[in-house]
Amino acid sequence: MKPTEGRRRVVIEGIQPAVDAGRYPAKRVLGDTVEVTAAIFADGHDHIAVRLLYRHSSERGWHTSSFAALNNDLWSAKFTVDKLGTWNFSIEAWIDHFDTWLHDLAKRLSAQTESTPQDIPMALRIGANLITAAAARAKGSDAKSLKLAAEHLLSLANANLPQYSSPVTEELVSLVTLYPDLSLTTRFPVDLPLWVDRERARFSTWYELFPRSASSTPGKHGTFRDVEAKVPEIAAMGFDVLYLPPVHPIGRAYRKGRNNAVAAEPGDVGSPWAIGAAEGGHTDLLPELGTFDDFADLVRAARSHRMEVALDIAFQCSPDHPWVKSHPEWFVHRPDGTIQYAENPPKKYQDIYPLNFESSDWRGLWDALYNVFEFWIDHGVRIFRVDNPHTKALPFWEWCIAEVQKDTPDAIFLAEAFTRPHVMYSLAKAGFTQSYTYFTWRTDKPGLQEYFEEICAPPVSDFFRPNVWPNTPDILHEQLQTGGRAMFMQRVILAATLSANYGIYGPAYELCEGRPAPPAPGREGSEEYLDSEKYQIRDWSQPPTESIAPLLTRLNQIRRANPSLQRNENLVFHPCDNPQILCYSKATAGHRDAILVAVNLDPRNAQAGMIDLVLDKLGLPWTGSFEVEDLLTGTSYTWKDQRSYVALDPAVMPAHIFRIVQ
């Protein structure tokens, strides 16, 4: 089929950033300078002109920015995003006949001799025609100036001089450029979307605790007031997000007992994820935790310490949830008429009913779930950790998150989805701000390096922001069960320095809790905690010498003081001849705060090796001496040239975090 205008000769392709050719928005953070690159070319030798169009969704008109040619038909332009929410950008390109003529004239002038005059008068007449056309597109004094310039070129052409110098000034070039001929412009057919978040989307430090275990009195059910009392201590460790598991009424039917016992004993508190009881559902509070006034005070207290409260949103219901009676059509019914409870064989969750996203009333279900977010936003919450989003319909998330962020663009959504890569990535594309990762199960040097090189670089990094957790209430990896204190130190150092977003489930982590529950029948091991807080109140009192809280505090101080650790796209791995030592660096533009990390992955034995530093990534010359300072210990070393020696004893400290002293 013939195009509607076959004279548009410029081709635009390979635009970045673009997620699935513009199906989903790429992600950036407020204040970022967005670099747009593309392959832009045409047939023949004519020059082309290119400009970037960009605007925030609240604006009607387009801003423009000029492209610069790189090499091999690649072009680059930049713009800065200064508002939260949706932006769009596109590219226009056209044959630049004036610039082509200018280049041709320069060659003719440099080649002119008495014997080869190069027909410069004719070239000047062509230029006069181009400038006259520009004058017709201009107005006011610009139009007058362009007409005079065209007349000047014609007069020079008519003079038929034996030798010519260039009659074109920089001022004339700038003036003609203001009035291009856009009649045959190629416009990229898609306005590519970009979503802009606030800074906490890129850099955050999470601390998870169960409010019911926050009481200072052993065995007593904790409250929001008890959590509020712990806020100064948690903030002092450097955490800026206080994440609470579900705070709603807990069902009584089929309530789980301690250590996931099928039958609860009197006094057992049940799982917070079995949401809903006579007291209400997802927009109500467990009475034992306190009132909405207490919750509001906790939110305010967190803000006063530069922290935010994040809530767990788990879209599932206990058999006692009000929705079970008022909206039975939102659940899957078995042939015997009973509602299907959740299962992940051999695990059974009789205390939880999944929602049915193929319900005939799916619109009503979507609206109800959206209203849950809106309810908690009205109560001061802007950060949500979403439980198992991969078990809910992907189109729902794309709609729901977009609807929430229309009015609340600073809302942040963390996807707790340990599932297949395509599903994890699809959730991120659908709008989730941050995502849990496979970090927990990447335990050796090749696995860690390969995985982080994948998620910290385009195209994945354009839509997927990792939030790295060494433990969660659901996951106690075998390494933490057997590696002792050194392993807890190693894994949190990796998490805090490989990723700009990380979190811990505490106080289990700082107290190095590594006791696993017995494995389920037919399984060799367990990643469940013994005496898990998911099913009971825990007393976390321990001697202070057992805690690694001082290390957590120092790590978070280092992260806050060094902007290079607050990003992911600057991650670079450096070879080391010891397979047990992982070495990597991060540096900001200009390498003003280059950080080099070396981690001993062996929790039991001292390891040493030679690192082959990629010195230009650290802002250093390839030869010469330089100083490094270990930010964990304060010790300084003088290194020389590319190869440097490190030795790490996990019984003392399993890692170096070096600041390159410039």
Cα distances from 470 to residues 496, 501, 509, 565, 634, in angstroms, run: 10, 12, 9, 18, 26
One of 32, 240, 387, 527 is an active-site residue; which one? 387
Our answer to whether residue 416 is catalytic in this structure is yes
- Cβ count within 10 A of residue 204: 24
Helix axes 445-455, 484-498, angle to 10 degrees: 20
Cα distances from 537 to residues 256, 334, 549, in angstroms, run: 13, 34, 22
Burial 496-516 (b: 16+ CB within 10 A, else e): bbbbbbbbbbbbbbbbbbbeb
One of 416, 510, 527, 593 is an active-site residue; which one? 416
**Angular region, 560: left φ>0, alpha ψ -120 to 50, beta rest:** alpha
Nearest CA-CA partner of 250 in 204, 314, 157, 177: 314
Which residue type occupies 164?
Answer: Y
Q: How far apart are CA 661 and CA 593, in angstroms?
A: 8
**Cis (ω within 30 of 0) for the bond into 121?**
no
Whether residue 561 contacts residue 553, with contact meaning beta carbons closer than 8 Å, is answered with no
Cα distances from 584 to residues 466, 587, 601, 611, in angstroms, run: 17, 10, 13, 10
Q: How far apart are CA 141 and CA 179, in angstroms?
A: 13
Our answer to whether residue 387 is catalytic in this structure is yes
Which residue type occupies 14?
Answer: G
Q: β-pairing, 655-661 with 625-630?
A: antiparallel
Q: What's 503's DSSP letter?
A: E
Q: How far apart are CA 126 and CA 115, in angstroms?
A: 22
Q: How far apart are CA 122 and CA 626, in angstroms?
A: 62
Active site residues: 387, 416
